[in-house]
Structure 1
Amino acid sequence: MATIVMEKIGRVFISLQQIREVPRILTEAAPSMPGTVRDTEVPSYFRERHVCTGYRPLNQHWKYYFLSLFQRHNETINVWTHLLAFLILLVKLRQLSETVDFVSDPHSWPLLVLVLSSLIYSAFSALAHLLGGKSELYHYVFYFLDYVGVAQYQYGSAIVHFYYAVDEGMHRHVSGVFMPLATVLSCLSCLGCCFGKYCNHNLPSWVRKVCQVVPSALAYMWDSSPVAKRLLSWSSSSNDPAISYHFGQVAFFLSCAFFFTCPLMEHCLPGRCDFIGQSHQVFHVFLSCCTLCQIQASYLDFVARRELYSSLHGSSEAALFVGLYALTLVVCSMIAAIMLRKVQRMLDSRNKSN
């Protein structure tokens, strides 16, 4: 028995050793891949505050940026945090599909929207950090796509909070406006993020942060208001299996909001967080944890509060809210496309003047 166990441990060790060799094998397979450069060697709009090295050179072949997934640079951790989150969410979706009838149960559709919107934002974020360094145009393309992903995830959060977490009193007051306003705020969030990125050349960095943070903060406060009301009215004597996950998602979100707005790690250790330790990396980790807590809380509400939400929401409301999700996705995509046209005009004008 001991021999069998030792053989299995040895196989695992060998497998781990092989995985660790992947970056070296890829580097040897593509010896012409250029190394990273300093911040002074890339345009200002690619630079992150207090991140001095690890930037990938611009205008390389697409193959270089895809293979840089296994290269050490200052975006490696940002890519992998959301790529791993995407894979975990896929596993979570498969687990949920074993117990939830996403096809014929309309009451499950808000939960499905949340999981799908989580998959989309994590995938778009990973793409932005992986491929957004190719050129100035593609920097805008992929980050606008990232903002679309964030906005539609905000709507996904709103739909589960209003559908599963709301109580009767709040539902009476906001039932006709909650989801339409959530759609408007998601679109404004996308517009603010895209506009802040577009004006990156002309405005101070704090103005860009305001454009990105204020609409998103308003959307979060509105979308999470049913959860906030529920947490404030919670007592220790109540039996609520989802409450700890709701507390968790709020705590993780507030933490990731702090690290998004304040580059604390880089500021305290300038030049030492170029590869790992950046505040944005911590933001990614906390956001992924927030999403997982949110999905679990929504699933537990879906199971435990069915009598309540089925009485509050008519059979056609779930389909209506899914339709609003599709509308949110379309409008946010249009906003990104319009802003991208403005970017192309700006770049064309600059090239002509040069």
Structure 2
Amino acid sequence: MLTWKLPRILNVHQVPKVFHEDSIICGYRSPSSSATACVLSLFQMTNETLNIWTHLIPTWYFLWRILALLSSPGSLHDPFLWPLLVYLMSCCIYPLMSTCAHTFSVMSTQARHICFFLDYGALSLYSLGSAIAYSAYVFPDRWVNSTFHLWFVSWAVCNTVISTALSCYSRLGIPVLHYNQHQIERFPEQNGPRLSKVLRITAFAYPYLFDSIPLFYRLFFCSGNDCAHNATLTMHIWHSIFAFLTGFLFATHLPERLAPGRFDYVGHSHQLFHVFGIMGTYFQMEALIMDMNQREKWLLDHSFMPSLSGTLGAWCSAMLISLLLIAAFSWAMYWKPKEPEKRKTF
């Protein structure tokens, strides 16, 4: 009879510092786990188990939503639906990459960094998918076809590249050889965790705030008949609330910071961060679909038709650049600059 032995659970003093989580004491997996052990850990309670399942299950939900859209007649041939398709692809990819990152990040130190590089890249692509959908469906009437609207997606592509680069840099930095000590400084996250955290928060917050400019204007500042006020505003507000809570939890590490060790397995900030993030994405998706349906006639008459290059083309270009950046940062972990030759003295 075939039996599986579940991996041993460790405490914070038994794993290297790079694997430590703020105010989490117990529930760590071995930092040299095999791929099989990583998969088996999904079925035992660790401090990562709920992090994994809170994104694995929603991945299937978003995949079902995109398959339902693709199964509708003519969806692939209707340019008006292309921004929604790109957005839904982003919604499938980012929780899937997060699931893989949290599952396999304990195979080694290098694997941990590469896994989260991919996770950060997926989050950046999700931000771009949101921008593409916002450009097509969310802009207030008075901003449609403005210069800002015409350049919105192009700017969002640049933000995606910046976000991926900055978030990866916050984790690894650039290897620097200290000639006087013959050492290579590799992981600034360990040497300067606060700076690393600030850089990472900036990398995630900046694209979200940029994407939300037309939405925030429509919600809080626009008045009159050309503001696209409709029933979707309530859904947009719920999305904004969950987005704020997501960022707040990521930045503060509450509630575990108030009681270290009490929330190691259930209820710590990263689990809540995942739940609120997915809820925010759900409300965002529903609001986008409602805006698309309710504003379709007006947008088709007054706005430019989405193009393949401005939707899937922009998204794929940003994905390619992000992958190249991730490959460069991953390679940097293994790069060892040559030490300078000592000058001969006679």
Q: TM-score range by the shorter chain?
A: 0.7 to 0.9
Which of 318, 324, 335 is 1:334 aligned to? Answer: 324
Q: State the partner residue of 1:246.
A: 236
Given that residues 186 and 216 in structure 1 are in contact (C-alpha distance below 8 angstroms), is that contact kept between their aligned partners in structure 2? Answer: no
Does residue 164 of structure 2 align to residue 190 of structure 1? yes
**Larger deviation, residues 213-222 vs 247-256:** 213-222
Change (3 A) 1:55 1:39: same
Q: Is the 8 A contact 2:27 2:265 kept in 1?
A: yes
Deviation at 1:115, TM superposition (A): 0.7
Query: Take 2:198 and 2:294, find their aligned partners in 1: how far apart are those partners?
Result: 39
Within the candidate set 180, 195, 199, 1:211 is matched to: 199
Name the stretch that deviates more: 116-125 or 234-243: 234-243
- CA pair 153-134 structure 1, distance change in 2 beyond 3 A: same
Which one of 106, 124, 139 corresponds to residue 79 of structure 2?
A: 106
Aligned-pair CA distance for 1:51: 0.4
Cα deviation for residue 287 of structure 1 reads 0.5
Q: Against the structure 1 CA distance between its residues 149 and 346, is the aligned structure 2 distance closer, same or farther, given a 3 Å change threshold?
A: farther
**Partners of 2:274 and 2:311 in 1: CA distance:** 28
* Counterpart residue number, 2:35: 62
- Give CA deviations for 1:110-158 in whole Å, capped at 9, x if unaligned: 0011110010000000000011111111101111110111010000111
Shift of 1:61: 2.3
What residue number does 1:181 align with? 155
Deviation at 1:267, TM superposition (A): 0.8
Matched, 1:225 2:213: yes
Secondary structure of 1:88's aligned partner: helix
Letter in 2 for 1:175: H
The structure with more helix, counted as a fraction of residues: 1
* Cα separation, partners in 2 of 1:242 and 1:234, compared to 1, 3 Å: farther
Moved more, 238-247 or 220-229: 238-247
Alignment partner of 1:125 is 2:98: yes
Whether the aligned pair in 2 keeps the contact of 1:110 and 1:160 (CA below 8 Å) is yes
For residues 123 and 242 of structure 1, the distance between their equivalents in structure 2, rounded to whole angstroms, comes to 28
- CA distance change for structure 1 residues 58 and 348 in 2, over 3 Å: closer, same or farther? farther
1:39 aligns with 2:12: yes
The CA deviation at 1:49 is 1.0
Residue type at the aligned position of 1:179: V
> 2:281 matched to 1:291?
yes
Question: Which amino acid is 2:321 matched to?
Answer: V
Alignment-derived partner of residue 281 in structure 1: 271
Question: How far apart are the structure 2 equivalents of 1:167 and 1:308?
Answer: 11
Structure 1 vs Structure 2: percent identity of aligned residues? 27
* Cα separation, partners in 2 of 1:108 and 1:348, compared to 1, 3 Å: farther
Correspondence for 2:115:
142
User: Please, what TM-score do these two structures have when normalized by structure 2?
Assistant: 0.87
Say whether residues 1:72 and 2:48 are aligned partners. Answer: no
Q: Is the 8 A contact 2:47 2:265 kept in 1?
A: yes
Change in 2 beyond 3 A, CA 1:222/1:239: closer
Which whole-Å CA distance do the structure 1 matches of 2:56 and 2:89 have between them?
A: 15
1:324–1:258: structure 2 CA closer, same or farther, 3 Å change rule?
A: same
RMSD after superposition: 2.4
Query: How far off its partner does 1:239 sit?
Result: 6.4
Between 1:86-95 and 1:292-301, the stretch displaced more is 86-95
Distance 2:299 2:224 in 1: 23
- Contact between 1:107 and 1:318, CA under 8 Å: does it hold in 2? no
State the one-letter code of the partner of 2:247: A
- Kindly state the Cα deviation for residue 173 of structure 1 after the two structures are TM-superposed: 3.3
**Structure 1 pair 236/100, CA: closer, same or farther in 2 (3 Å)?**
farther
* SS of alignment partner, residue 54 of structure 1: strand
Partner of 2:58: 85
Aligned positions, number: 322
